[in-house]
Structure 1
Amino acid sequence: MKRLIGCALLTLGSMQLMAQEQKSELRLADEAYARQEYALAGNLYGRVIKGKPSRAPMALLMKLAHCRRETGYFGEAANWYAAAVQRPDCPAAAYFAYGEVLRNLEAYDSAKVQYARFNTVQADSLALKAAALRGCDSAVAWRQQKVTLNNLGVLKELNTPYSEWISGAVKKGLLLVSNGYRKMMLNDGAEANPVTDKRTFQPYYKAYVYQQYAQGNSTMYLEEMLPKVLDKYRYHIGPSCFNRAEDTLYVTVNEQQRPELQQRKGPIQGRRRLMLYYAVKKDNVWSPLAILPGLNIDGFSTSHPVISGDGGVLYFVSDRPGGFGQADIWYSEKQADSTWGKPVNCGARLNTVAAETFPTINEEGALYFSSQGHPGMGGYDIFRATGSRDNWGAPVNLKAPFNTGADDMGLILKPNGYEGYFSSNRPGGQGSDDIYHFTDAAYFTGGRPGDGGTTGGQPGTGITQPDLAGGKPGQPGTTGTTGTTGTTGTTGTTGTTGQKRTPTTEELELIRELEKLRFLYDFNSATLLPESKKVLDYVTGVLKQHPDWKLMVLSYADSRGSEGYNINLSALRCFAVIDYLGGKGIDVKRLYYMNLGEQFLVNACKDGTPCTEEQQRQNRRSELKVIY
């Protein structure tokens, strides 16, 4: 965002005119600040101060620093706070605010110095100070223990110089919120000059749907979500969610009327609130959008809806009275007449004296959200908590690389449990908030893929595998029970299969036939080849004929590459097989996996041994073990 630049005037008359103009700019700046138009106010304050912080009123200096912080210019904000703390009239709040932006910049030792200088008797402020100091200490340790995610990177095809994040998943794609697509020619045309939000000098947000390219599916498209329903609304639209049947939409929309204004001595006060709306599809036609009854409250924001898998609980974010801090996560239960019940706060385990927001549900019984109040690395950190309604376990910080000193938010896992997205304004992106994508089986570990990936109390908690007597098919005597996934624990599930029955002679022959199958892969790939899919179609038929059988997928890599990388790559190959069988109608609760990396090579192609590409290819494989 460019600063506004004034012309230099040299004559005495011009200097008098500049003084009058400066008063006008100061009033405009204060009015913009009161409306929370921080980008506009920051530029105006910058013109008033003109780079001379030692002579500027402290109130102006603090407002300018706050504007830069709110618009994500942490380095500039730090410079203005640094100027403030050097002055004798520095308020106590400046030390805490300076510590916050230093934490945003991951200067944790310097941040601790400023937090220590912050003295207060206010209980909430003391709680924030304590959490911030713990967060600094934790962040240093977490950065040293940083987990390397497989294929983590900016999703270039979806990011713009503005802001984007993914807010949820639907059957055929992903739900996005963006202010960078409005000039693009999509299903509702393009806007040559979209209206700009003066808080950020960026366009207002809209909701979109994105269908990602998949193997065997050549379509990849981005389109505005339900333009006939949403296009009549100005200002911000999104985030949103659908129920499981995808015939009811819940969406965040800015208030459409002008915000309430109060003329007092001084600037105009005003703020545009967020509200929850809904629409219903009947006979393939969507109803007009309407305010969701019972959940909104006058004068306060209600936003960020997310619905539980069974459709019985709607979680949302609100700054309404009765909460613990600036914004809390609340819930409402669906009533017998399909209305939503009285909102209830999710409780002090989730909510703090600061802000909690961006809730998502990726597996039933687990809530992901971002918080500024729990100890973290800086800005908004992503947390995971297990429970429901107002009964939650202690939130777990997802640590690096999901979290940084910047704002990290909106973690979404695909149904396969290992591929996901989150957004961040960390350095190295393409715009303000960027979408990051990862495919990694090591971090969200434990449980079958169909059970949502994470089943332990926190990410990285391993659980045991089913006992495979004889382990790897064809090699009696190996146990094969400890398939690891890199640095974060073991994968798989506890495999109690109930009372075993003795298979018939014909079934034993069929089992031996299945366990001789081998699916090969191209180098550094987890994509199923056409011939593998044909074989898996046969496996699908067998499993449908024997619904009491379960299947263990064992996957391997060749010896090239690091051991950790090969472990993760073999996990992705397990998931490729499981995804395909699940898509063919096999209940994924019947499917288990072991990612064995470069263990059990079928030939002598160890590290440093000269081998042909065909010999290496024989080690890049998946095999099957029937559990009955």
Structure 2
Amino acid sequence: MKKIIYTTLAFILTFNSYSQIAKGDKEYEKFAYVDAIKTYERLFEKGYKSQDMLEKLANSYYFKADLGTAVLYYRELFALKVDLEPEYYYRFSQCLKSIEDYKKADEIMLKFNQKNDNDLRAKLASLEKNYLDEIEKNSGRYIIENAGINSRYSDYGSAFYNNKLIFTSARDTGVIGGSRKHSWNGESFTNLYNADIDDQGNVFSPKKFGSELKSKFHESTPVFTKDGKTVYFTRNNYLNGKRGKDSDKTTLLKVYKATLNGDKWENIIELAFNSNDYSVAHPSLSADEKTLYFASNMPGTIGQSDLFKVSINADGSFGEPINLGNTVNTEGRETFPMITSSNELYFASDGHPGLGGLDIFVAQQQEDGSYKNIQNIGKPLNSSKDDFGFLINEKSRFGYVSSNRDGGEGSDDIYKFIEIKKLECEQFLLGIVVDKITGLPLANTKVTLSGENYDKLRELVTDNQGKFDFGKVDCGSKYYIKSEKQEYAIVEISTVTKEESGKTEVKIELEKEVKAVKLGDDLRFAFGIEVIYFDLDKSKIRSDAAIELAKILDVLEQNPTMEISIGSHTDCRQTAKYNLKLSERRARATMLWLVEKGIKKSRLTAKGYGETQLVNNCGCEPTNESNCTEQQHQANRRSEFLVTKL
């Protein structure tokens, strides 16, 4: 029943004219998947196999969340070797995960990536190739067991209310003359039930809840204000005896609000941002009750269903819904949000890499409202089937989750869990400060850590090995580190911490403001001057070389007694004799450039060395040929500036 939000998202396709297939088409288009499956299966058993029939048969089981059966028909579909839309590759991959055939699932996902590389799900799959290893790291943090209140029907979607657990069930509508059945899955329409909770999180004695909230259609997934006087809940588009439909005559989902008067729920109203043309479902309240989170396929949705939030104003009105963005939402299904007091967003998704079907993920909300560090919460809460409806008591750490995993009593069941270890991304930021020229560590250097908005966070000094440790910081966040030491220029660098638990290490190099130069030093190294490059077979001073020569010029101007020797070099191509002449022209060109800028010629000497002093193994003799790259050859076309007098 949890999938009712997705009924609006199924394909409306065109079928052939055979009467039985036409009947199946009609049921499919009405989303009466139980009847459609019967029709298609009878045809399949008689040996009929067409692309459109197999697509719809496989999709019927996919949307019914019976992925294990759907995989059989997707296999038949892919065996036809016909051209398929990329989405079929994604669904087939998800179904393969449901039977834990992860190797084949990854192969199909790779083809999905190739066909649809702009899809967020494709990008995530490409970036997170080791997703199973990451899930394994996050696993083993829960003890899970059947909650003990499940029926042979669908039970799911729980909420806390006055020391009770409120949940959704299709077990019994209580309608005289028999229960009304939904053709989509053959079960009764869902209603709300409550069960008592003891100190250990055990639940028992389920009873119907809120008869005033009940309609002849689905009610599900409530959330209550802390004072217990207001409830937001999901219902089919039905109010005051009137049933709303979209342009396809389908009754979608809306979120409603009711208030408690005495012991009765009254003033049932639909929220202002609902619509007959899209679904809104599965509300969740922030701790301060000023923001409502929900799932929808409203305009602006990235995928099949997205997570949104909307402000609740002081007068009870609502702001404009805001999509949580493509860090959370994908082209797949994101649904069943739950926000904690520490701004952790738990949600179900089949768009982020998981174990199969819907998996539960958690994201940390940042100060600016964005989300980072999306993590799969791991096994055993996640399985190869659909897992959703995460709910946790933040003090006791017990909670409940819904799943259609193997071994349950109904199509969906509620499981109790206890969290024995929190899922935390722990990043530690540390590093070392060294002298840029000597590489030696710089002790007693003041290092200051600031956040992305330049807010000062921590300040300390390096130890006698030049090391510093800022300790625990946020994962996947940008920081600035400023380093200050007497006689050195102040340096500030930025770094982004890793998305997973571990260490982010940085190396900071400081340069002295006043540099000591001795005879024989090469000014390039002493002053951080780049290599003076020349083009192949040229001696003309390039524009980038002129910038570097200007640094040499400034040094000579500031030190009027300094004299230097200019050494020019070539790569190995051409003959040794030719290269010697070329290097001499380059040395003279460099010297003349400095003379033209006002440096006395007597302070300068110039010498060409040809290819006799290569900086790498890119020699050409005796064949005058080399397999080196152009970049390697260019490293040899250089000029050096050695101090000969101070």
TM-score, scaled to structure 1: 0.60
Which residue of structure 2 aligns with residue 412 of structure 1?
391
Do the aligned partners of 2:138 and 2:376 also contact (CA within 8 Å) in 1? Answer: no
Do the aligned partners of 1:138 and 1:377 also contact (CA within 8 Å) in 2? Answer: no
Secondary structure of the structure 2 residue equivalent to 1:251 = strand
Identify unmatched segments of 5+ residues in structure 2: 1-16, 427-471, 476-500, 503-646
State the one-letter code of the partner of 1:230. Answer: L
Which residue of structure 2 aligns with residue 99 of structure 1?
93
- 1:394 aligned onto 2:379: no
Which residue of structure 2 aligns with residue 422 of structure 1?
401
Which residue of structure 2 aligns with residue 112 of structure 1?
106
Which residue of structure 1 aligns with residue 186 of structure 2?
201
Which residue of structure 2 aligns with residue 484 of structure 1?
none
The superposition leaves residues 378-433 of structure 1 with CA deviations (integer Å, 9 ceiling, x where unpaired) of 21111112227842223221012221221111111124342111111122222211
Do the aligned partners of 1:209 and 1:224 also contact (CA within 8 Å) in 2? Answer: yes
Change (3 A) 1:377 1:334: same
Secondary structure of the structure 2 residue equivalent to 1:202 = coil
| Structure-1 separation of matches of 2:149 and 2:309 | 31
Do the aligned partners of 1:103 and 1:136 also contact (CA within 8 Å) in 2? Answer: no
| Structure-1 separation of matches of 2:134 and 2:232 | 40
- 1:131 aligned onto 2:131: no
Alpha-carbon distance, 1:192 to partner? 6.2
Which residue of structure 2 aligns with residue 77 of structure 1?
70
Do the aligned partners of 2:24 and 2:40 also contact (CA within 8 Å) in 1? Answer: yes
Which residue of structure 1 aligns with residue 159 of structure 2?
168
Secondary structure of the structure 1 residue equivalent to 2:388 = strand
Change (3 A) 1:347 1:218: closer
| Structure-2 separation of matches of 1:377 and 1:95 | 16
Q: Compare CA radii of gyration and give the structure with the larger one.
A: 2
Which residue of structure 2 aligns with residue 527 of structure 1?
none
| Structure-2 separation of matches of 1:103 and 1:114 | 11
| Structure-2 separation of matches of 1:402 and 1:192 | 39
Alpha-carbon distance, 1:44 to partner? 1.3
Secondary structure of the structure 1 residue equivalent to 2:402 = strand
Secondary structure of the structure 1 residue equivalent to 2:417 = strand
Do the aligned partners of 1:318 and 1:330 also contact (CA within 8 Å) in 2? Answer: yes
| Structure-2 separation of matches of 1:283 and 1:161 | 34
Do the aligned partners of 2:158 and 2:400 also contact (CA within 8 Å) in 1? Answer: no
- 1:154 aligned onto 2:146: yes
| Structure-2 separation of matches of 1:286 and 1:75 | 41
Which residue of structure 1 aligns with residue 210 of structure 2?
226
TM-score, scaled to structure 2: 0.58
- More strand per residue: 1 or 2? 2
Change (3 A) 1:95 1:338: closer
251, 270, 274: which one pairs with 1:272?
A: 251
Do the aligned partners of 1:178 and 1:208 also contact (CA within 8 Å) in 2? Answer: yes
Identify unmatched segments of 5+ residues in structure 1: 1-21, 184-188, 263-268, 448-454, 459-487, 490-628
Which residue of structure 1 aligns with residue 229 of structure 2?
247
Give the fraction of aligned pairs with identical amino acids, expressed as a percent: 26
State the one-letter code of the partner of 2:135. Answer: W
| Structure-2 separation of matches of 1:281 and 1:56 | 56
The runs of 4+ residues in structure 1 deviating greater than 6 Å are: 455-458
Paired residues, number = 412
| Structure-2 separation of matches of 1:283 and 1:88 | 64
Do the aligned partners of 2:237 and 2:276 also contact (CA within 8 Å) in 1? Answer: no
Write the mapping of 1:600-615 to structure 2, written as runs, cut at 5 A: none
| Structure-2 separation of matches of 1:335 and 1:118 | 43
Alpha-carbon distance, 1:218 to partner? 12
Secondary structure of the structure 1 residue equivalent to 2:135 = helix
Alpha-carbon distance, 1:66 to partner? 0.9
The superposition leaves residues 132-171 of structure 1 with CA deviations (integer Å, 9 ceiling, x where unpaired) of 466674125634x57435642122x211222212432123
Write the mapping of 1:19-418 to structure 2, written as runs, cut at 5 A: 23-50=18-45, 52=47, 55-93=48-86, 94-118=88-112, 122=116, 124=118, 126-132=119-125, 137-139=130-132, 142-143=135-136, 145=137, 147-149=139-141, 151-155=143-147, 157-180=148-171, 182=172, 193-214=178-199, 220-227=204-211, 229-231=212-214, 233-256=215-238, 260=245, 269-292=248-271, 294-387=272-365, 390-418=369-397
| Structure-2 separation of matches of 1:350 and 1:281 | 34
The superposition leaves residues 166-214 of structure 1 with CA deviations (integer Å, 9 ceiling, x where unpaired) of 432123211211112x16xxxxx67662211111112111112211244
| Structure-1 separation of matches of 2:379 and 2:391 | 16
Secondary structure of the structure 2 residue equivalent to 1:278 = strand
Change (3 A) 1:147 1:364: closer
Change (3 A) 1:445 1:120: closer
Secondary structure of the structure 1 residue equivalent to 2:373 = coil
The superposition leaves residues 217-257 of structure 1 with CA deviations (integer Å, 9 ceiling, x where unpaired) of 99943222210x123x1221011111111111111110135
Do the aligned partners of 1:176 and 1:209 also contact (CA within 8 Å) in 2? Answer: yes
Change (3 A) 1:135 1:122: closer
State the one-letter code of the partner of 2:208. Answer: E
State the one-letter code of the partner of 1:340. Answer: F
Alpha-carbon distance, 1:25 to partner? 2.9
Do the aligned partners of 1:134 and 1:375 also contact (CA within 8 Å) in 2? Answer: no
State the one-letter code of the partner of 1:60. Answer: M
State the one-letter code of the partner of 2:226. Answer: R
| Structure-2 separation of matches of 1:259 and 1:133 | 42
| Structure-1 separation of matches of 2:299 and 2:142 | 43
431, 434, 439: which one pairs with 2:413?
A: 434
Secondary structure of the structure 2 residue equivalent to 1:29 = helix
Secondary structure of the structure 1 residue equivalent to 2:307 = strand
Change (3 A) 1:424 1:285: closer
The superposition leaves residues 506-540 of structure 1 with CA deviations (integer Å, 9 ceiling, x where unpaired) of xxxxxxxxxxxxxxxxxxxxxxxxxxxxxxxxxxx
Write the mapping of 1:554-569 to structure 2, written as runs, cut at 5 A: none
Change (3 A) 1:261 1:252: closer
Change (3 A) 1:158 1:284: closer
